[in-house]
Structure 1
């Protein structure tokens, strides 16, 4: 009974009821639901698109300020406290909880989706610019979202020792006691809904690739039922492991995931035949991205000549913003004993570094074949529009393609394991009115969140939502989250300045 009294059933069941209702509408009215999504996305993402770009660049600049100001020396915990985890373990958990299996989908094929966009043609050759945008969309600004909020949450948990692990509590330095009232409740409900939308986007994008790989390996016909079975099997197996082993289990899975992930990258780099090209073009693309960083961050296309920022940059910033509900909480919780500066710079080193390596190796493999005239993946995509099929064809050009497919499948499953385990764990923690720093959420409540996290993705798969409509879920959900993030960061800086003066 005591356990039930600690749970905020409103925050737990209102999003549950809302998501179930939306999922039912997608099942019953798939066409109409997708049309409504598109219309709302146009209003939020197109009319107010610059809002997302301002938040992205602003938070990146704030991360630099935090590192090199006196706030950067504040330790997330006691003044002499040592880090709770070693750097490799900490970095592995941070990277795998922050990125799900979709990193492999996008690493292989994102540049192909850019290739026929007029904006890339205006900038120059596809070979020179397509990979620049993949690095830009997955590096410093996205990880700034995570890391700035992570140190804000870490400060709240390990310095202020607050027991309410919620967005509303992080906003308390600005909104005061209203964090306990209606305003705080609305903030928490928006956050939970955004969390569900973010996981839905990731599942809906990456899971069809896993089912395609399974179909290729076992000769199965791919349809929505197979995709749904894949989702259910992954969630049942993975989440059960998480419930039984908690943070320790996530740490073990993260290390195994990173081993397989870098094993895949090393294999492709050494034996794929495009190693030199991948390194050189990746190095050049990274330099071009740094050189044009401000221009890439502020490009809006006001006359809508190509809609590139509306289709991609704005979507990505929104996508990462909705993932900011759980991932920064988790990163903040495992960063105890590190300073603000160490957390942000370490996150950039491990998170951004690993992400960039993935896109350089896997993206440039297929781009190298395209540039050399050995394959024409751009034409294949223009004809079929099926990126999952194209990724299978990319893998088929590698040595030992069956081995590579198995390695990709296992790595994606472990990415799902670590990212969604951490999300379920933090979402369950979010359901408590109060949860002490070293207290774990109830395992049955974690299982409830496991179920909730897969409902909307299955609905999107069955409604045959396009990539644009899947993107819309994130863009719409991120709009209110951006405002909440600003309040949280403002509150953290205000509180941290007071703490620095006290010390």
Structure 2
């Protein structure tokens, strides 16, 4: 027991725990003060560093394409016994999508177009609904997936080629900092990673859990959303705790089950909503609009605050997840070439997210256009997004089937995402954990509980969407700096190895 305890990196556990409890008490006890503090820091970052977030986004997109089509793309990440990748293309792709896309994708697919339709920047266009969907495809498109894919390549190279010997976030920066990674520099990088991941889980749970609670409440005729949200968070924790304790085999199987429910929901809406042709036509138009205007959208800063309010938020939201999900993607990519990881990663990532937004968003837009549910007006008059989404779902034939699929898909997506990050963050918590070793079940269970404290405090304090977004934006700033250091370290090491 003493030997096991001695392997744990205690500062990386104690400091985050104290910080989480302190922030949770602050959010719950002083909601107004916490709101002003978060908004003040967010306003400062938006005013002085919007360009920084935009440049980082462009850097990662260009870098991921360069590494795939350059000489580095032929490098294979380790070898397997039979010479083939560790996981088949189908299972690998499903695990990538379900380990990166939490239940937020369903929530935003159903209501993000409503959020944009009320923005002055979007309302200046003649076709508001088309541009609303176009910006959804932009914010969930190649740029944000480049964050995951580029870092997955760096982590995979670290794990299977250079074999650094330790499964820690800071190890990816060793080619740049050398032995300093064993000291305070490494500790700071790992602390940034853990804090960012705590912010990511808080953002995810707090944004979309009310929708899941509303749907489940409709199915069982219970309408206390806050109580149901807490109960469902506990249920999700139990599911992903059991799966993470069992190990990678359970995570792999759960991802396939979850993906089946997700595709089932999309097919039900596409086939039975009565608007299949509209969904396809509008999806093609929005995709074409995105291709024509991509460069301008990626470099726009003067947008009446739209860029700061939404684009910077989304880049930040994905950045805080970059401390765990790319590590997981890299860890399941043994035997694949760098080019294969990049191209298949984009194919699976963009394929799943674009299907979700094109089908679910256009379903809601069709109801708005045909005056079945005036979603935009309902939001303006005080209805919550969850309430409006439920009204939209009720326009489907046998809508309870769709609600069951939606609930199961959301629970599954929550569970698979937190399976992967619990596994990864547990690995970060050890001083030395080799590639062949897995963290203890107790460590995984510990982080499973810690991850729900912050979102519970945000739910109990009735935090606004602005508060939840601000948590991600603030945490993303130091994370983005580490992300750049990891990419520089990767290029430095692979260039040296090839020479």
CA distance in structure 1 between the partners assigned to 2:190 and 2:360 by the alignment? 38
Give 1:73 shift.
0.7
CA distance in structure 1 between the partners assigned to 2:341 and 2:83 by the alignment? 14
CA distance in structure 1 between the partners assigned to 2:200 and 2:171 by the alignment? 21
Which residue of structure 2 aligns with residue 308 of structure 1? 306
SS of 1:464's equivalent in the other structure is coil
| Superposed counterparts of 1:71-86, under 5 Å | 71-78=72-79, 81-86=83-88
Give 1:363 shift.
0.5
Q: Paired residue for 2:168, among 151, 162, 166? A: 166
Give 1:175 shift.
1.5
Asked whether the equivalents of residues 68 and 343 of structure 2 are also in contact (C-alpha less than 8 Å), the reply is yes
Asked whether the equivalents of residues 197 and 320 of structure 2 are also in contact (C-alpha less than 8 Å), the reply is yes
CA distance in structure 2 between the partners assigned to 1:257 and 1:246 by the alignment? 17
Q: Paired residue for 2:441, among 440, 443, 446? A: 443
Q: For residues 334-355 of structure 1, give each alpha carbon's deviation from its aligned partner in whole angstroms, at most 9, with x where no partner exists.
A: 0111011100100000111111
Larger mean Cα displacement after TM superposition, 12-21 or 386-395: 12-21
Asked whether the equivalents of residues 45 and 475 of structure 1 are also in contact (C-alpha less than 8 Å), the reply is no
Which residue of structure 2 aligns with residue 184 of structure 1? 186
CA distance in structure 1 between the partners assigned to 2:46 and 2:457 by the alignment? 23
CA distance in structure 1 between the partners assigned to 2:319 and 2:376 by the alignment? 30
Which residue of structure 2 aligns with residue 115 of structure 1? 117
Which residue of structure 2 aligns with residue 296 of structure 1? 297
Larger mean Cα displacement after TM superposition, 19-28 or 456-465: 19-28
- Paired residues, number: 497
CA distance in structure 1 between the partners assigned to 2:257 and 2:226 by the alignment? 30
CA distance in structure 2 between the partners assigned to 1:418 and 1:279 by the alignment? 29
CA distance in structure 2 between the partners assigned to 1:238 and 1:437 by the alignment? 22
Which residue of structure 1 aligns with residue 159 of structure 2? 157
| Superposed counterparts of 1:214-253, under 5 Å | 214-243=216-245, 245-253=246-254
Say whether 1:493 aligns with 2:495: no
Which residue of structure 2 aligns with residue 213 of structure 1? 215
Asked whether the equivalents of residues 367 and 392 of structure 2 are also in contact (C-alpha less than 8 Å), the reply is no
Q: For residues 43-70 of structure 1, give each alpha carbon's deviation from its aligned partner in whole angstroms, at most 9, with x where no partner exists.
A: 1233311211110111001111011001
CA distance in structure 1 between the partners assigned to 2:144 and 2:279 by the alignment? 23
Asked whether the equivalents of residues 167 and 488 of structure 1 are also in contact (C-alpha less than 8 Å), the reply is no
Which residue of structure 1 aligns with residue 255 of structure 2? 254
Which residue of structure 2 aligns with residue 54 of structure 1? 55
In structure 1, runs of 5+ residues without a counterpart are: none
SS of 2:316's equivalent in the other structure is helix
Q: For residues 127-152 of structure 1, give each alpha carbon's deviation from its aligned partner in whole angstroms, at most 9, with x where no partner exists.
A: 22110000010110111000000000
TM-score normalized by structure 1?
0.97
Give 1:439 shift.
1.0
Q: Paired residue for 1:344, among 317, 342, 346? A: 342
CA distance in structure 2 between the partners assigned to 1:251 and 1:185 by the alignment? 31
Which residue of structure 2 aligns with residue 389 of structure 1? 387
TM-score normalized by structure 2?
0.97
CA distance in structure 1 between the partners assigned to 2:105 and 2:33 by the alignment? 30
Larger mean Cα displacement after TM superposition, 404-413 or 173-182: 173-182
Say whether 1:476 aligns with 2:458: no
CA distance in structure 1 between the partners assigned to 2:437 and 2:266 by the alignment? 38
Which residue of structure 1 aligns with residue 325 of structure 2? 327
Q: For residues 71-104 of structure 1, give each alpha carbon's deviation from its aligned partner in whole angstroms, at most 9, with x where no partner exists.
A: 1111111399420000110011110111101100
Which residue of structure 1 aligns with residue 149 of structure 2? 147
SS of 2:86's equivalent in the other structure is coil
Say whether 1:195 aligns with 2:185: no
CA distance in structure 2 between the partners assigned to 1:98 and 1:334 by the alignment? 13
SS of 2:247's equivalent in the other structure is helix
Which residue of structure 2 aligns with residue 175 of structure 1? 177
Asked whether the equivalents of residues 108 and 363 of structure 1 are also in contact (C-alpha less than 8 Å), the reply is yes
CA distance in structure 1 between the partners assigned to 2:196 and 2:46 by the alignment? 15
CA distance in structure 1 between the partners assigned to 2:212 and 2:111 by the alignment? 15
Give 1:422 shift.
0.6
Asked whether the equivalents of residues 11 and 188 of structure 1 are also in contact (C-alpha less than 8 Å), the reply is yes
SS of 2:451's equivalent in the other structure is helix
Give 1:199 shift.
0.7
Which residue of structure 2 aligns with residue 375 of structure 1? 373
Which residue of structure 2 aligns with residue 273 of structure 1? 274
CA distance in structure 2 between the partners assigned to 1:63 and 1:8 by the alignment? 32
Which residue of structure 1 aligns with residue 351 of structure 2? 353
CA distance in structure 2 between the partners assigned to 1:253 and 1:232 by the alignment? 18
Asked whether the equivalents of residues 45 and 476 of structure 1 are also in contact (C-alpha less than 8 Å), the reply is no
Give 1:41 shift.
1.0
Larger mean Cα displacement after TM superposition, 146-155 or 179-188: 179-188
| Superposed counterparts of 1:62-101, under 5 Å | 62-78=63-79, 81-101=83-103
In structure 2, runs of 5+ residues without a counterpart are: none
CA distance in structure 2 between the partners assigned to 1:62 and 1:481 by the alignment? 18
Give 1:385 shift.
4.3
